[in-house]
Amino acid sequence: MEKLRSDPEWYKTAVFYEVYVRSFFDSNADGYGDFRGLIEKLDYLEWLGIDVIWLLPFYQSPLRDGGYDISDFYSILPEYGNLNDFMEFVEEAHKGGIRVIVDFVVNHTSDEHPWFQEARKPGSPKRDWYVWSDDPEKYSDARVIFVDTEKSNWTWDDDAEAYYWHRFFGHQPDLNFDNLEVQEQVLAALKFWLDLGLDGFRLDAVPYLFEREGTNGENLPETHDFLKRVRKEVDSNFEDIVLLAEANQWPSDVVQYFGNNGDECHMAFHFPLMPRMFMAARRQVRYPIVEILDQTPKIPENCQWGIFLRNHDELTLEMVTDEERDYMYNEYAKDSRMKLNLGIRRRLAPLLENSRDQSELFHAMLLSLPGTPIVYYGDEIGMGDNVYLGDRDGVRTPMQWSGDRNAGFSSADFAQLYLPVLMDPIYGYAACNVEAELRSPHSFLHWFRQLLAIRKQHPVFGLGSFEVLHPDNAAILAFIRRHGEDVVLCVNNVSGRAQAVELDLSPYEGMYPVELMGRERFPRIGELPYLLTIPAHGFYWFQLTNEDSQ
């Protein structure tokens, strides 16, 4: 077993795997995945080659928003197990060389949280733990985020005889971070879980912590002051911890969440990159990807972007223009049921029309572009979705382990499952499951595992510099990653047709490209542009080597 090594910047070379506890494996036949089930499946994740498990919320909750409506920060939803199960899971993951981070919802609680129930009472000492007003027009410059369900950021409460503020669903009242007691409570909850052995947090919805009249209530200076305080507390009491900011903003705004000198969050998601990868594939030109990367500011040396293809939410189109959003809807959400808020609620494989070569291309870009890649559970076998389920549940269905009953996820009665397993002829569990992929040596699962292994052998993908090449052929996205003596050339064809490209590799004249999947050496780089032909949606990873290093 691989033991965890102490490394304060381990997140830079890691591959994250995002999973719901309830979605992975049910150990006690109650229809819900649980921590005992996760423990049973750790061998699979260790075999796959991921480095970090990111758990979505598992706290006590009425589950009106998939667990993001927390009613107790200190307890675990009983269906998932108990604290002893959680601690054993973290310990066993660490034994296998896998770190564990979890979602922590900073901005709000459930309206069933005891804090809010007490705050509703007139004269309560906890009244100021939430944001109240007699005027529903206050903070009117703040946008409504969940436009499909919420008409306002204020909801009237009869008991409190006032409106309470919420940036998301009406059953998720925002905490008042101007109250120092609230800040102390949040810090205490973070420390509680870190004391149990966690390796970090994804901090949910961090741009919205404070409210100020005349602003949009996002990315305010007070938010960054609080995050600096969180980082200082974490660094003072723990080692090798990562804080990952969920800030669905433009890169110029998100970069502030790293702090001036990397003294806020270690990582932040690069949200605008993901939709532009899909846009580039449909337009069959590299420009959407290159342009957003050109607009991405430099970040502190100790920080890293988190990049992803899909996750538990809709494919967000907030950080695109109106014209680009219309284009994406037209191309990827032809059925109105696929749309949600300002996004598309679909999994990766259906978005790519179950195309094996596109899936390979997208994962090759995910694992080679600058940043730490985050894989969503089931994408390694091409799982589909169910657009007929409400809200975002369509992309949160049970993991498909085998063609057996309930996809091998649970031995409970089918009606007991928290969500139905997929049963359609293309993505249903009879056609798409881990067991079948394991038996086929040429399956996407085996291919993906091989690509992860190659990436792990080359820290350049996590640590290296990034230089985009600009060939005349617009369908080719080519770039150089360099870290010390390790130089890797990545060439991606975002077109659905075979392409030829000439690359200016003159700085590497005399070197040999060695293709990393098969270790085949290509012809020497000379004075002239280097000619390559690439199949439709194909890619190459070349290590540039000297003749004597072969």
What are the tokens at 532?
């390559």
CATH fit for domain 10-107+179-456, picks 3.20.20.80, 1.10.10.60, 1.10.3720.10, 3.40.47.10: 3.20.20.80
**Cα separation, 237 vs 178, whole angstroms:** 24
Task: For the chain, 550 residues long, give each residue's pLDDT as a single digit of tens.
Answer: 456 888 999 999 999 999 999 999 999 999 999 999 999 999 999 999 999 999 999 999 999 999 999 999 999 999 999 999 999 999 999 999 999 999 999 999 999 999 999 999 989 999 999 999 999 999 999 999 988 899 999 999 999 999 999 999 999 999 999 999 999 999 999 999 999 999 999 999 999 999 999 999 999 999 999 999 999 999 999 999 999 999 988 899 999 999 989 999 999 999 999 999 999 999 999 999 999 999 999 999 999 999 999 988 777 777 778 888 888 888 888 888 887 777 888 899 999 999 999 999 999 999 999 999 999 999 999 999 998 998 889 999 999 999 999 999 999 999 999 999 999 999 999 999 999 999 999 999 999 999 999 999 999 999 999 999 999 999 999 999 999 999 999 999 999 999 999 999 999 999 999 999 999 999 999 999 999 999 999 999 999 999 765 5
**Cα separation, 30 vs 36, whole angstroms:** 12
Secondary structure string (H, E, C) spanning 422-477: CCCCCCCCCCCCHHHHHHCCCCHHHHHHHHHHHHHHCCHHHHCEEEECCCCCCCEE
Q: Where in the chain are the domains?
A: 10-107+179-456, 114-165, 465-549
Which residues, in sequence order, are bridge partners of residue 103?
202
Q: What angle do CA 338, 342, 344 make, to 5 degrees?
A: 25
Q: Is 253 exposed, middle or buried (0-12, 13-18, 19+ CB in 10 A)?
A: middle
Amino acid letter at 36? R
User: Which of 103, 199, 246, 314 is an active site residue?
Assistant: 246
Q: What angle do CA 161, 165, 170 make, to 5 degrees?
A: 90
Contacting residues for 412 by C-beta, under 8 A, at least 6 apart: 26, 29, 30, 31, 406
CATH assignment of 465-549? 2.60.40.1180
Rg (CA), the chain: 24
pTM: 0.95
Angle at which helix 322-332 crosses helix 273-283, to 10 degrees, equals: 60
Query: Which residue, among 105, 101, 100, has the nearest Cα to 72 in the 3D structure?
Result: 105
370-391 in b/e form (b: 16+ CB < 10 A) is: bbbbbbbbbbbbbbbbbbebeb
174 as an active site residue: the answer is: no
246 as an active site residue: the answer is: yes
**Cα separation, 381 vs 402, whole angstroms:** 11
CATH fit for domain 114-165, picks 3.30.420.300, 3.40.1830.10, 3.65.10.10, 3.90.400.10: 3.90.400.10
User: Which of 26, 34, 92, 204 is an active site residue?
Assistant: 204
DSSP 3-state of 218: coil
